[in-house]
Amino acid sequence: MALALKFFTCLVLTVCIAASVDAALTCNTVTSSLAPCANYLSKGGAVTAPCCEGVKKLNGLAQTTLDRQQACKCLKAAAESIDPSLASGLPGKCSVSIPYSISMDTNCDNVK
């Protein structure tokens, strides 16, 4: 799990550095919020309460269009290194509704 978390963190931080969006929400915040989900996102299985707490926290932090677009970009980049179906289903498993799909097909610039 530690290796998967380190890889996930490095990937998201790389995207954060490369992102040119001036949003208050950073990929570091996305990574830290979803850190409890690393095991689930890499292997599947049960979604833990700390994971869902992180998903809910992240959803609460993404209040502006720019923040939601930034979160989308971070999640989309991370979806390249994990099971995309696990990532896309995570909000629903935590009873959280987000205004976009976590998918390689999502155009984060269109997220409102």
pLDDT in tens, 41-96: 988 999 999 999 999 999 999 989 999 999 989 888 876 778 888 888 999 999 99
* Residue found under tokens 């998201």: 12
CATH 1.10.110.10 correct for 2-110: yes
Residue count (the chain): 112
Question: How far is Cα 61 from Cα 68, in angstroms, rounded to an integer?
Answer: 9
> What is the predicted pLDDT for the residue at 91?
93
> What is the predicted pLDDT for the residue at 87?
87
Look at the pTM and tell me if it is higher than 0.75.
Answer: no
Gyration radius of the chain over CA positions: 12
Helices (H), 1-112: 2-18, 27-34, 38-43, 49-61, 65-79, 84-93
Question: How far is Cα 64 from Cα 77, in angstroms, rounded to an integer?
Answer: 20
Higher pLDDT among residues 43 and 102, named by residue? 43
CB 58 within 8 Å of CB 72: no
- With vertex at residue 99, the alpha carbon angle to CA 66 and CA 10, rounded to the nearest 5 degrees, is 60
Q: From the centroid of its chain, how far is CA 75?
A: 4
